Chain A
Amino acid sequence: MLQLSAAVAGLVTGGAYALMGLSTLLTYRLVAVVNFAQAAVGAFGAFGMVLLHEAGLPLFPAVVCGLAGAAVIHMGLGAVMVRWFSEAGEGVKAAVTIAVFTGLVAVGLRLFGGQHPHRFPSPFDSPVATVGGVVITWTAVVTMALAVLFAVLPTVLLRRTRVGLLLRALSERPTTAELIGIPVPRLSMVVWGTAGAAGALAIMIVAPQLASDFGSQALLITPALAAALVGGFRSFAWTFVGGVALGVLQGLASTVVALQQYRGVLPFLVILVVLLWTRRRDRWDSMA
């Protein structure tokens, strides 16, 4: 019984992981950058929203400002990528985002304080139903719905629309795309902005139920990357599944005495297993 409750509770966290994983995947699919700073940028937006809200701004404009803030920061990162690293390999780009991640965490802790918690507004806090002894709130429902939306929308966009086609060209062959007349810098700025805002929205929704400090939120990138990896950094649907499954696994692990203290390691374990599995046919000596 406790296992069932814990698994149901894990669905909520899983939705949050999926959301974060999907916005990371969005950045990767559209501009070909494995962005370690995705959650940190999102946390900036979320904290901007909280500070404005605490200062008396109504919730809706505060959220819009937070999203815009995250979009602008992410576009700044995008500008750096386009300007200096457009021809660099994925490894170099990822390394740049790790550096940005470290910088953002340091600045974020300084700006928003590492110690005292902020009250993240939770407008969807009212209960919907009780499933397996767990009270489910609207937050959980909204998180899940948003995660599904994040999974479906980009898939449709990339497969079915002309913009999607341009975006695919942009991510796979940026130089070729530019040569055939696609306005690459402008288009990629829009993509960076959107992905930044999406990350911020994800953090804003999950923040009230997780530790409310900047560092912990920026570290949501770990389960997010694990989820994206389950989707092979290609499939939005499998990223969604990966995120949710990771949340459920963590919930379950907390009920097993022998496992509970290793709960925090689970995302890394998933990353390791997925990597080993997807590389099982590779010849390891030829990898280097």
Chain B
Amino acid sequence: MRKHLTAGAVFATAALTASVLAGCGSGDGDTIKIGAVAGLTGQFITAEVAKTAQRVFDDVNESGGINGKKIEYIVKDDAGNAQRTAQVARELADAGVVAMAGSASFTDCAVNDGFYRQQKISSVMAVAATPKCFQSPNIAPVNVGPFTLMTAVLLHATQKLGDKAICNFTALLPGDEDAVREALARWEKLSGQALRVNDMTVPQSGDLTPYLLKAKEADCDAILFNPSEQLVVPWLQAAKTQGMQDVDFLLLAPAYTDSVAKAVGGLGLNVYAGSEFEPFTSDSLANKGWRDTVTRAGAAATAFSQGGYLSAKFLVEVLKTIKGEVTRDSVNAALRDMTPIEDPMLGTPWEFGPGEAHAPNQASKIVRLTGLRWVVVDDTFVTVPNA
């Protein structure tokens, strides 16, 4: 019998063998398979996330693996296309992954939440950006995410900058509206203040001057603006043109990049942004492990890559606690019963836990644009309390 199998394997391709084995749900291959859905091509490119996570797993493998078993990290590119996102998740499930780590796809949560529940796959997500990522029993992101970050940045404006008239300009993505409203309401409850202007109709392209004029007329002290890097640059340039040097511009993590600093650093505006983790531009001790890993991975040192590093690291720590076979079930049980992990790169301990939804990271540091660089304003995390 064994001979027959071996003979068969000679004729089958390695990939086919792997998928057949996994299809049986045995999971008892030679390796522990971990998957990730990433954007390696397309509009939203997050190649550095998977690269950094890969380095973490390689390090584990080089020092002997998990209970003698090597980790096999399978990264699938979804090119930011929802159909591909669904397809690659099924490919990963067929390949027999025991869990996901380091996913950084914009569409992953909305598309695959149901599939992960059905297949009992847990995802320790690196970069979560849509509401669904924080509302699934099977997904626990390591990053703060755009919604809690809104609350955190607004709290910084009211508590530390002393701003009174706060205005919000949001470009909504489909499905985001409720989460944005909740984040704003949470800040209103915590601060006891109300937004002077709340405009959630900002378009993703075109001239933004009319919105700045509205803010100017309302005499806003601080303006929160959520869109991507591409829109932040013309937004701040138009603000400079309109002479809004005395306003605090509050931005979210997508704006916290070196290219934004280079593009708009010279405008002389007050620009603040929330970081998802310990700010990646900081040479602090907290960042040492990540910086070393990302350098050895040859990946770009971005906030996204911090997510890749942490998600891989946390999953490895949980895998190490498993006695016996590493399967989807044993990984799920270990994630459910884990002790929260304190990490200096995060302001709150990270845990997966048994809940119906997970948003363990509730803290951000604030960086300020100084010259052509982002500089940490205050070395403590702004932790968002439960409202």
Contact = CB atoms under 8 A, between A and B. Distances in A.
Interface of A: 1-2, 5-6, 9-10, 12-13, 16, 109-110, 113-119, 122, 125, 127, 133-135, 137, 208-213, 215-216, 219, 247, 250-251, 254-255, 260-261, 263-264
A54 to B, nearest CB: 9
A208 B213 contact: no
A210 to B, nearest CB: 6
A260 B201 contact: yes
B257 A9 contact: no
B214 A255 contact: yes
Given A117-B259, A260-B201, A263-B201, A10 B207 contact: yes
Contacts of B229: 115-117
B263 interface: yes
B205 A117 contact: no
Given A115-B229, A251-B210, A209 B234 contact: yes
Given A2-B217, A116-B257, A251-B210, 8 more contacts: A5-B213, A6-B213, A210-B207, A211-B204, A211-B230, A247-B207, A254-B214, A263-B206
A204 to B, nearest CB: 14
Given A6-B213, A9-B213, A211-B231, A113 B206 contact: no
A119 B214 CA distance: 26
Question: 3 shortest A-B CB distances, which residue pairs?
Answer: A254-B210, A9-B209, A116-B259
Interface string B253-266: 00001011011100
B94 interface: no
Contacts of B207: 9-10, 12-13, 16, 209-210, 247, 250-251
B243 interface: yes
A264 B209 contact: no
A109 B230 CA distance: 13
A208 B243 contact: no
A210 B242 contact: no
B44 A115 contact: yes
B45 interface: yes
B203 interface: yes
A286 B203 CA distance: 40
Using C-beta atoms within 8 Å of the partner chain, give the interface range for chain B: 35 or more
Interface in B220-257: 228-234, 237-238, 241-243, 257
A133 B213 contact: yes
Contacts of B263: 117-119, 212
A211 B209 contact: no
A12 B209 contact: yes
Contacts of A5: 210, 213, 217
Contacts of B241: 125, 127, 135, 137
Given A6-B213, A125-B241, A263-B201, A117 B206 contact: no
A114 B43 contact: yes
Contact of B206 (A118, A122, A125, A210): A210
B216 interface: yes
A116 B257 CA distance: 8
Point out which of B43, B232, B233, B242 has the most chain A C-beta atoms below 10 A from its C-beta.
B233
Nearest to B204: A211
A2 B214 CA distance: 7
Interface in B117-144: none
A126 to B, nearest CB: 9
24 contacts: A5-B217, A9-B209, A114-B42, A115-B44, A115-B228, A117-B230, A117-B232, A118-B263, A119-B263, A122-B237, A125-B241, A135-B241, A208-B237, A210-B205, A211-B206, A212-B263, A215-B43, A250-B206, A251-B207, A254-B211, A260-B199, A261-B201, A264-B204, A264-B206
